């Protein structure tokens, strides 16, 4: 895989794109390049996205129509959902979660980046620190 155009996309980055009241230069730079990139996500990602949107609706941060528009945008991006996440959940992912004091969800992104040999795009400080400790490069934008 071409590591210059392929990366593991953490939900923390993608969720910034869906909320007008959040802004992050790193996340926006990735969004600007998304049509030319190949993102990879663990199989929990669709549920994570759905949950963040549902919570956003309940807190009146977005409307159901906003959520639908955002999902349509995400659906148009080259985002590959990994089909092996579950096979690693009770082994590699749990080991990473324990070793780096991560949630199993965050460890799934790290496990995927390690397994695919790809950089990780994340905003979460603990996840970024764990990635660096494991020798996983952070995805950079020019």
What are the residues whose beta carbons fall under 8 Å from the beta carbon of 57, sequence distance 6 or more? 63, 64, 67
Buried/exposed code over 40-76 (b: 16+ C-beta within 10 A; e: otherwise): bbbbbbeebbeebbeebeeeebbeeebbeebeeebee
What are the residues whose beta carbons fall under 8 Å from the beta carbon of 55, sequence distance 6 or more? none
Please answer whether residues 11 and 49 qualify as being in contact, where contact means their C-beta atoms are separated by less than 8 angstroms.
yes
pTM listed for this prediction: 0.94
**With 50 as the cut, is the pLDDT of residue 1 above it?**
no
- Residues 34-75 have pLDDT tens digits of 989 999 999 999 999 999 999 999 999 999 999 999 999 999
- Residues 8-40 have pLDDT tens digits of 999 999 999 999 888 899 999 999 999 899 999
């Amino acid at each position: 895989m071409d590591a210059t155009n392929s990366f593991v996309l953490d939900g923390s980055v993608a969720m910034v794109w869906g909320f007008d009241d959040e802004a992050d230069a790193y996340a926006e730079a990735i969004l600007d390049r998304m049509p030319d990139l190949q993102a990879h996500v663990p199989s929990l990602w669709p549920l994570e996205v759905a949950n963040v949107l549902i919570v956003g609706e309940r807190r009146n941060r977005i409307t159901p129509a906003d959520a639908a528009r955002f999902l349509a945008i995400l659906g148009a991006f080259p985002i590959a959902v990994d089909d092996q996440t579950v096979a690693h959940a009770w082994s590699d992912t749990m080991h990473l979660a324990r070793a780096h004091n991560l949630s199993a969800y965050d460890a799934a992104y790290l496990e995927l980046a390690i397994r695919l040999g790809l950089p990780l795009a994340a905003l979460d400080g603990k996840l970024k620190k764990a990635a660096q400790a494991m020798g996983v490069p952070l995805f950079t934008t020019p």
